[in-house]
Structure 1
């Protein structure tokens, strides 16, 4: 399936500065970047690799107190639908070095605080069946409520509040999976069925020596997602970072099937 991505971001900045962006579709397994263009209004650009060499982040040196950008891309997604049932989990000693960090707690995914809950709730299940049960639990106990969380909200906060947005759903899935010794990482993505249209977040879990995209919100399937970059949690993959405040004037994200 081919997807067309169109992003417009117009932000008022506190001052001219260098902003860090993560908005471009990655060239990686399961998807092919057919074409893309990025207009940063003359800002100078420096690119750096993202975690696991999936995608790139962009340092944009803006010489005025305004960041106005337009990003367009055409991406062919070839990854199949994910089947979790029956998939085995890898033992900890068998995890590759690049996967091991994703079984540990992180700033927004305090998996060490969920060990007892995960054992009591999902202890009789293994591997992909356990991940499926975790997804069902999160989807069944969380309410999708825009504006109910903020940049400081953690997985434990969401577990107590039982509401949030895709960021919070993903943090909670990652925390619960890691508590079960199943590596899980945060993926920043584009999805055609996201409502309201926006940047989206899903989890990736490591089963049978491979990563598998899963969306606890139920909005998207793996074959309908375009990956931007991955990390331990949202702190690693924010679509925009600035040192001082940045006020959005316009932000639109359009993802359509070609």
Structure 2
């Protein structure tokens, strides 16, 4: 499968700023073509690559004021490498985190999923449960909303769905994390977020939105929750988001069965 992905981010930087972007595909892939360019008022700006956990490639930009534009593109021929999990990883992704409050949702998880046999059935059950209890509503959640607030509001976007899945799985004793991805087939097109659960020695994708085939997804960033996987972090200074354009296409879009175990590749 060949996948072509890209993004364009436009910012108005109103004060000297330290910015971190997570838009490049992770080190699990060897793109046959790749480019990243940043310009400020038409003048090229250096973007230094900083490695993060699980193959995430961050790009740090220190810039003055003005209109800043970042453009990224990559072509991926074939699958990438699968990710592993150390004992430390499994501990970290089993704990509550800022946006995935598994301790708060533990009673809900116990009540709703008690007695489900088999990891495959559990992942399908959590995915379907979250998907049927939340409505996907663009702009319905705040950047500070976590899983508990999302479940109370009964609506959200992809990151909110992922947080609820991660919190429930952790509450059930399954290590889980969030992955930011490019998602061929997604409509409307944007950066996408999914959950991953450590099952039978591999990370398995859980996407309760069912908006894109899991086998076509391309990993960008990986972490405990959205705090680790945001496409833009303003470390200091001020930058106002003007526009975001994302593209992701694959030469085939297979059907996706929520009951099947699928890993990002």
Fold match (TM-score > 0.5): yes
Q: Matched residues in 2 for 1:213 and 1:152: separation?
A: 24
Task: Report the secondary structure of 2:125's partner residue.
Answer: helix
After superposition, residues 148-227 of structure 1 pair within 5 angstroms as 148-227=140-219
Give deviations 1:49-104, integer Å, cap 9, x for gaps. Answer: 1222x22111111233332111111023437xxxxxxxxxxxxxx97222220010
Q: Is residue 2:95 matched to residue 1:104?
A: yes
Task: Report the secondary structure of 1:40's partner residue.
Answer: strand
Cα RMSD, aligned residues only = 1.8
**Cα distance, 1:143 vs. partner?**
0.3
Residue of structure 1 in register with 2:113 after alignment: 122
Q: Matched residues in 2 for 1:37 and 1:254: separation?
A: 14
Q: Matched residues in 2 for 1:71 and 1:142: separation?
A: 32
**Cα distance, 1:113 vs. partner?**
1.1
Residue of structure 1 in register with 2:254 after alignment: none
After superposition, residues 45-60 of structure 1 pair within 5 angstroms as 45-52=47-54, 54-60=55-61
Residue of structure 2 in register with 1:12 after alignment: 12
Give deviations 1:81-130, integer Å, cap 9, x for gaps. Answer: xxxxxxxxxxxxx9722222001000000001111111111010142211
Residue of structure 1 in register with 2:68 after alignment: 67
Residue of structure 1 in register with 2:45 after alignment: 43
Give deviations 1:126-159, integer Å, cap 9, x for gaps. Answer: 4221121010000011100001002111100111
Q: Is the 8 A contact 2:16 2:237 kept in 1?
A: no
Consecutive unaligned residues of structure 2, counting only runs of 5 or more, are 252-265
Residue of structure 2 in register with 1:33 after alignment: 31
Residue of structure 1 in register with 2:104 after alignment: 113
Task: Report the secondary structure of 2:193's partner residue.
Answer: strand
TM-score normalised per structure 1: 0.88
Q: Matched residues in 1 for 2:239 and 2:140: separation?
A: 20
TM-score normalised per structure 2: 0.86
Consecutive unaligned residues of structure 1, counting only runs of 5 or more, are 80-93
- Change in Cα spacing, 1:112 to 1:61, as seen in structure 2 (3 Å) is same
Task: Report the secondary structure of 1:97's partner residue.
Answer: helix
Kindly report structure 1 stretches of 4+ aligned residues shifted beyond 3 Å: none
- Change in Cα spacing, 1:119 to 1:72, as seen in structure 2 (3 Å) is same
Q: Is the 8 A contact 2:93 2:175 kept in 1?
A: yes
Count of residue correspondences = 242
2:242 to 229, 249, 253: 249
Q: Matched residues in 2 for 1:66 and 1:215: separation?
A: 35
**Cα distance, 1:47 vs. partner?**
1.9
Task: Report the secondary structure of 1:197's partner residue.
Answer: coil
Q: Matched residues in 1 for 2:13 and 2:141: separation?
A: 23
Q: Is the 8 A contact 1:43 1:63 kept in 2?
A: no
